[in-house]
Structures are given as structure tokens and as C-alpha cells.
Chain A
């Protein structure tokens, strides 16, 4: 079964508007972390935001916030005030703490296109 599901292969958003990218996950590990990465066309993965499974509050980093709904196993990324430079692939990923080490499981990604 897919551990990380991103159901939106592609999305358009108007510049300066907010956009939500969906991510659902599946794990039986009580301790896990959820990540969002941005991948521009250059290929490098850029860390955006992190949410731990025991964190009480939703994570925020500048224009990025993570809408964490633990019971629904969802971790949606919200980008406020979209900019043209936000056009990129976005990946949701999970690290299960029970796995010794630092392995990330990635979703299939969402391509975000910001329209001027």
C-alpha cells in the first residue's frame, strides 16, 4: 500500500493567491515526521517545512504552513500569497522513527504552476 499519497498531479494558482497541496499518509508507527520539499526544474530538493507526529501545533515557516490532521492522516501544505518562483514540483515525505535511520518515503509529487 502507498504510504504517502499526493492526489493532485498538477495544479494552477493565480499569483498572490493561496494554494493547498494535499498529502495523506499511512503508518502504524506512533512516532513519525512529515516533510514537504520543493523541487525546481534544476533538480535540487529544497526543505520547506516539518511536522512531528507529537507536535501539538501546526508547523509554519514564512509563507508555508502545514495543516496537520492526525486522525485523518493528512498533512496538507498551504502556500500563502503565491509567487511566480513557487512554480515547481512539491513532494510530501514521511520518516518513521521505528525504522532505524533516516529513510524518507516520498509521495508522487504535485506540480504547481503559478500564473501571473
Chain B
């Protein structure tokens, strides 16, 4: 079974630009969560999507948005990039069943904003 895939793996953008990151969950998984990892703030939850609906949102400005498609693939978008958005963005997928609790993470997208 294929794991969680994220594209692109690396990205360099300029301040003020926008960026879209993609995440394909494990087949059959309907829950997709996004996390931002920085040296200063650590791992922080961005948002979670389940069946195309946002279920949870972390404490991030409105510049960060996401969506999920009917095939469970998810995208996150960051508009008007700032230097502080440089981070590793991790996507996790989950079956979200009563007896299945694991979240499987992808390799991440490393975003550098210059």
C-alpha cells in the first residue's frame, strides 16, 4: 500500500507570492491533517479535513487555507507569503475509525521564503 505523498518536496518562493502544497493520503483514508514545523515554534496543527469538510483549524491567520477533494487528496494554500512561513509542512492521513488511531505522515514539503 502506498504511503502518504506530498508534492513538491522542496519549494523556494519570494515574499508576497502565494503557494499551493498537495497531499495524497493513503488509499481509503478520509482524514487529512496539516502541520507546520519550524525551529522556533515546533510542530503546530494547521487544519484537518474529513470528507471534504474542515473539522478543526489551528491558530493560524487567514492567509493559510486548505481544501479536500472527493478523492481525499488535500491542498493547502498560503497567500502573501512572509519570511516566517519558511517551514516544513507535514501532511498526515488517518482512517479515523474507532479502533484505528494512527496518523501516517508524509515526507513533508520544505518551503523557503526569501
Contacts and interface: CB of A to CB of B under 8 A. Distances in A.
B92 interface: yes
A104 B94 CA distance: 12
Contacts of A107: 42
B107 A43 contact: yes
Interface residues of A, number: 25
Contact of B101 (A37, A45, A95): A95
Interface of A: 33, 35, 37, 42-47, 50, 52, 91, 93, 95, 99-109
B108 interface: yes
A106 B104 contact: no
- Name the residue in A37, A45, A52 with the highest tally of chain B Cβ atoms < 10 Å from its Cβ: A45
26 contacts: A37-B105, A42-B107, A44-B105, A44-B107, A45-B92, A46-B105, A50-B102, A52-B101, A91-B43, A100-B55, A101-B50, A102-B31, A102-B33, A102-B48, A102-B50, A102-B55, A102-B94, A102-B103, A104-B33, A104-B35, A104-B92, A104-B103, A105-B45, A106-B43, A106-B44, A107-B42
A83 B11 CA distance: 33
Nearest to B107: A44
A115 B110 CA distance: 29
Contacts of B105: 37, 44-47
Given A101-B55, A106-B42, A50 B101 contact: yes
Contact of A33 (B55, B90, B101, B106): B101
Interface size class of B (residues with CB under 8 A): 20 to 34
A103 B43 contact: no
A42 B9 CA distance: 11
A49 to B, nearest CB: 10
B96 interface: yes
B108 A43 contact: yes
Interface string B41-74: 0111100101000011010000000000000000
Contacts of A52: 101
A43 B101 CA distance: 21
Contacts of A106: 35, 42-44
B25 to A, nearest CB: 12
